[in-house]
């Protein structure tokens, strides 16, 4: 039954993603092949386009995940979903798996304009200064998926796993927020309440993860044009990454099991 | 098979301060056609939603074929809700594919026959069908299952007399012989010959549950007149 639920969840969601993916790839290619010259302004235009595309993509992902875990479970389609002979855990799992895969694919698609931008900068820098700058940007691109090039293998692995849990955490918090607003809360403003719970939980989680137990903060001084600038740098040591991973594992476990429990025991489809 | 196909034991359900179901007790057996009758707001839809597992916060106990509500009990029930439940993106073929995948007892040949008899216009997207045809499509899907229990929530609400007759005739001629049919409605005229037994629900309570023939004989009135008499002070 799980595979069938996954199949139909893909069928109901792919239309929301594929046209945007095609659009992003096309705009990215036009940007890459269309930008000429080696001025700062041209580079900034390329970066601006890449950033806008990534923002558009993530807003779309966010809205689609909310729809999948909100109105398409607790709205009218819920009549179809909750009368099929499926176990609640399969229903929950199917939504988590499909939304997780969409976030992963969207992240890969979102990396295309960024990588093309890196490629563009690489061309510019190689032709003027040399290749060193582009290596730094390559490291930056790797850091987007949580990998630092000089880190140990254990650190790299745990960083990638952490990024996976970043994605799962988004789904988990949206899921529990909408489940609570549709099962425990009995008023009319379910969407608003779901939204408030989502932001409150996200804020609480980020507050906890910002404590010294999970995050190391250092003050660094940078010299730009002869002037000193102080800035705060926050990072996780390897052991802190393990703590963060355990914490995110607990958050996701609590949210998914809690959502399943509430649907199983407290479902109130209107 | 359990003694009763559906057993409802002392079930109560509140929406805030409103009591939708008030200590409901019922036993319903297989092979019966049961009319669940009552005015709007009497608790019919709530009772049906509890039976189908769409409402889980209630007191009391429900047994479907001797078991608590679960995915196994849901496999026995074919349920037509009082609203359209298709996703906006769905085509007719998607709905059929969904039912084929989710229900082992779905009969596609019967679905095609029913759709032909309903003369639903061939549009791919369900949302582009008229509301009446969307309801017919939903009915065809529900009746194309070889289920043990069919539950219809207001299938004839808001439709014209011709469609009403088509719907009722289709329901009566397209179910499994041993199946239990529960049909909820607040429109009582011309339905008394359909039901083996009737349940009158009033303000969340069962006020009458009787064999239809025995009821009409004892009152010496039509079902509509009996309904009016029982519910005279309910409006």
DSSP-assigned states of every residue in B179-224 = -EEEEEES--TT-TTT-SEEEEEETTEEEEEEEHHHHHHHHTS-HH
> In this complex, do B54 and A8 lie within 8 Å of one another by their Cβ atoms?
no
B70-101 core/surface letters (b: 16 or more CB in 10 A; e: else): eeebbbbbbbbbbeebbbeebebebbbbbbeb
The confidence score (pLDDT) of residue A131 equals 53
pLDDT tens-digit readout, A133-188 = 556 566 666 666 667 767 778 888 888 888 889 889 999 999 999 999 988 888 88
Lowest-pLDDT range of A33-37, A199-203, B41-45, B192-196: A33-37
Report how far residue A215's alpha carbon sits from residue B179's, in angstroms, rounded to the nearest whole number: 63
pLDDT tens-digit readout, A85-112 = 999 999 999 999 999 999 999 988 988 8
Provide the shortest C-alpha distance from residue B224 to chain A (in Å): 30
The confidence score (pLDDT) of residue A243 equals 93
Provide the shortest C-alpha distance from residue B213 to chain A (in Å): 33
The confidence score (pLDDT) of residue B60 equals 93
> In this complex, do A186 and B86 lie within 8 Å of one another by their Cβ atoms?
no
- Dig out the tokens for A96 from the structure: 């988590």
The confidence score (pLDDT) of residue A138 equals 64
Which chain B positions have a beta carbon within 8 Å of A267's beta carbon? 53-57
Give yes or no for residue A218 having a pLDDT over 80: yes
Which chain A positions have a beta carbon within 8 Å of B101's beta carbon? 4, 7-8
- Assign A186 to helix, strand or coil: coil
Interface check for A189 against chain B (CB to CB < 8 A): the answer is: no
Contact A146, A232 (CB under 8 A): no
Residues 16-55 of A with CB under 8 A from B: none
The confidence score (pLDDT) of residue B1 equals 66
- Region A49-55: mean pLDDT is 85
Which chain B residue is nearest to residue A263, measuring alpha carbons?
Answer: B56
Interface check for A77 against chain B (CB to CB < 8 A): the answer is: yes
Report how far residue A209's alpha carbon sits from residue A203's, in angstroms, rounded to the nearest whole number: 10
Which of A72, A79, A264 to mutate to test binding with chain B, by most B CBs within 10 Å of its CB? Answer: A79
- Dig out the tokens for B4 from the structure: 């009763």
- Kindly state the percentage of chain A with pLDDT values over 70: 89
Interface check for A267 against chain B (CB to CB < 8 A): the answer is: yes
- Dig out the tokens for B116 from the structure: 């032909």
Lowest-pLDDT range of A19-23, A188-192, B226-230: B226-230
Low-confidence ranges of chain B (pLDDT < 70): 1-2, 122-123, 158-159, 174-175, 233-235
- Dig out the tokens for A117 from the structure: 């931008």
Residues 97-136 of B with CB under 8 A from A: 97-98, 101-103
> Hey, which of A53-62, A64-73, A248-257, B214-223 has the most confident mean pLDDT?
A248-257
Angle at B169 between CA B138 and CA B228, to 5 degrees: 100
Contact B72, A85 (CB under 8 A): yes
The confidence score (pLDDT) of residue A257 equals 93
> In this complex, do B79 and A83 lie within 8 Å of one another by their Cβ atoms?
yes
Rounded mean pLDDT of chain A? 85
Give yes or no for residue A70 having a pLDDT over 70: yes
pLDDT tens-digit readout, B145-198 = 988 999 988 877 766 777 777 777 877 876 677 889 999 887 777 777 788 899
Which chain B residue is nearest to residue A264, measuring alpha carbons?
Answer: B56
For chain B, which residues make up each domain, given as ranges?
A: 6-87+149-234
- The 8-class DSSP code of residue B54 comes to S
Give yes or no for residue A83 having a pLDDT over 60: yes
Of 3.40.50.300, 3.40.50.970, 3.10.20.740, 2.60.40.1940, which CATH number belongs to B6-87+149-234? 3.40.50.300
**Is the pTM higher than 0.95?**
no
- Kindly state the percentage of chain A with pLDDT values over 90: 34
HSE-CB for A35 with a 13 A CA cutoff: 27
The confidence score (pLDDT) of residue A145 equals 65
Q: Which of A146, A188, A185 is nearest to A163 (CA)?
A: A146
Query: Left if phi > 0, otherwise alpha if psi is -120 to 50, otherwise beta: which for B41?
Result: left
Report how far residue B103's alpha carbon sits from residue B162's, in angstroms, rounded to the nearest whole number: 31
Q: Which of A238, A21, A235, A41 is nearest to A120 (CA)?
A: A41
Residue where the block lists tokens 């109901």: A12
HSE-CB for B90 with a 13 A CA cutoff: 24
> In this complex, do B54 and A85 lie within 8 Å of one another by their Cβ atoms?
no
CB B48: neighbour CB atoms within 10 A? 23
The interface pTM score, or ipTM, of the predicted complex is: 0.84
Report how far residue B72's alpha carbon sits from residue A181's, in angstroms, rounded to the nearest whole number: 28
């Amino acid at each position: 039954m799980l595979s069938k639920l996954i199949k139909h969840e893909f069928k109901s969601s792919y239309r929301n993603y594929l046209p945007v993916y095609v659009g992003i790839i096309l705009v990215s290619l036009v940007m890459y092949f269309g930008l000429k010259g080696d001025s700062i302004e041209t580079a900034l235009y390329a970066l601006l386009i890449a950033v806008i595309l990534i923002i558009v993509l993530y807003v779309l992902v966010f809205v689609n995940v909310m729809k999948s875990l909100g109105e398409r479970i607790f709205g009218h389609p819920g009549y179809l979903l909750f009368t099929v002979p499926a176990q609640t855990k399969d229903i929950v799992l199917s939504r988590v798996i499909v939304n997780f895969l969409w976030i992963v694919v969207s992240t890969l698609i979102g990396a295309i304009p960024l990588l093309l931008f890196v490629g563009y900068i690489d061309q510019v820098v190689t032709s003027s200064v040399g290749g060193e700058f582009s290596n730094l940007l390559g490291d930056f691109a790797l850091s987007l998926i949580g990998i630092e090039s000089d880190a140990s293998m254990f650190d790299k692995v745990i960083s990638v796993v952490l990024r996976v849990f970043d994605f799962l955490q988004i789904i988990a918090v949206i899921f529990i927020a909408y489940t609570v607003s549709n099962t425990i809360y009995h008023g009319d403003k379910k969407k608003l309440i779901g939204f408030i719970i989502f932001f409150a939980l996200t804020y609480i989680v980020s507050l906890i993860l910002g404590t010294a137990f999970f995050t190391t903060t250092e003050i660094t001084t940078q010299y730009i044009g002869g002037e000193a600038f102080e800035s705060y740098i926050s990072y996780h040591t390897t052991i802190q990454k393990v703590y963060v991973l355990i914490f995110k594992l607990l958050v996701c476990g609590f949210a998914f099991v809690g959502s399943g429990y509430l649907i199983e025991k407290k479902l109130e489809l209107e | 098979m359990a003694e009763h196909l559906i057993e409802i034991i002392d079930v109560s359900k509140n929406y805030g301060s409103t009591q939708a179901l008030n200590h409901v007790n019922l036993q319903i057996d297989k092979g019966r056609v049961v009319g669940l009758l009552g005015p709007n707001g009497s608790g019919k839809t709530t009772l049906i939603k509890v039976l189908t597992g769409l409402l889980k916060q209630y007191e009391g106990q429900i047994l479907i074929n001797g078991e608590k509500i679960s995915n196994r009990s849901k496999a026995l029930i074919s349920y037509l809700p009082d609203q359209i439940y298709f996703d906006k993106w769905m085509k007719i073929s998607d709905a059929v594919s969904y039912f084929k995948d989710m229900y082992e007892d779905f009969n596609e040949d019967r679905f095609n026959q029913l759709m032909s008899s309903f003369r639903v216009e061939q549009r791919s997207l369900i949302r582009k069908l008229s509301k009446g045809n969307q309801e017919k499509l939903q009915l065809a899907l529900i009746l194309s299952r070889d289920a043990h229990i069919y539950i219809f929530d207001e299938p004839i609400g808001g439709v014209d007399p011709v469609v009403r007759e088509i719907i009722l005739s289709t329901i009566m001629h397209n179910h499994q012989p041993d199946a239990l049919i529960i049909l909820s409605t607040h429109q009582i005229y011309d339905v008394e010959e359909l039901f083996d037994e009737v349940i009158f629900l009033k303000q969340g309570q069962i006020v009458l549950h009787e064999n239809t023939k025995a009821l009409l004989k004892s009152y010496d009135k039509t079902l509509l007149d009996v309904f009016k008499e029982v519910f005279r002070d309910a409006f």
